[in-house]
Structure 1
């Protein structure tokens, strides 16, 4: 007699291993882009300027362009929530190439800005992936939620 696997909500959960639950690539790309924009807005807020929107765009564009390249180079859509090596590579490429593009555009690359940008982008690009990996690991350790096992619907 062959065993069958049911996909109903009352079926026992199969133990998960490997990478965290699938995170949609579009959602992950949006999270990375929002991270870059948060960095740009925070950077703009620490300096005064005449046109806030133009300043945010000027700060963000090199890093957004670099982020697109980083996603292509790392093929991030294959495992967008992966922390290592993909998430770290996306951060490093976004920061490094973003700084190159910023320099080519004539914007400054003071040592303090290099450090702040590396830390902020690291927190924002790697950080959400760390949260996803941590939640996934916690779920694997604790198993399915109470009341989700066989017969739960009959109670």
Structure 2
């Protein structure tokens, strides 16, 4: 604890602020020049989705959408436009990447931070119980900087 004598050693007109050393003029917040707040960057998530009708080999996708609902609707609509009669939503995702891996028997959908990581996961899974595995579709839906 500082004694009153330690704080009283500052020259006249310079406050001690309870410190043994004096606080120079302009260092007090009320004496500091006002600073405007620096605007912070603002990012908005972006959504994507994959919908399929496997028996009819129809694929619908979306990316860069502002909402999950919008992404899902667009993927389902695109699937139907491409010949799907019983399109199902396989995945919806935001701020990441998605892939569709297909083999001779089936397909699977995966998401990850990058296409490469999603493909690694999907290809490993496919090769465990299928043949002729390949990435059929890939895309990313990344966040967008907004003013």
Bin of the TM-score, shorter chain as denominator length = 0.3 to 0.5
**Higher strand proportion:** 2
TM, length-normalised to structure 2: 0.33
TM, length-normalised to structure 1: 0.32
**Higher helix proportion:** 1
Larger Cα-atom Rg? 2
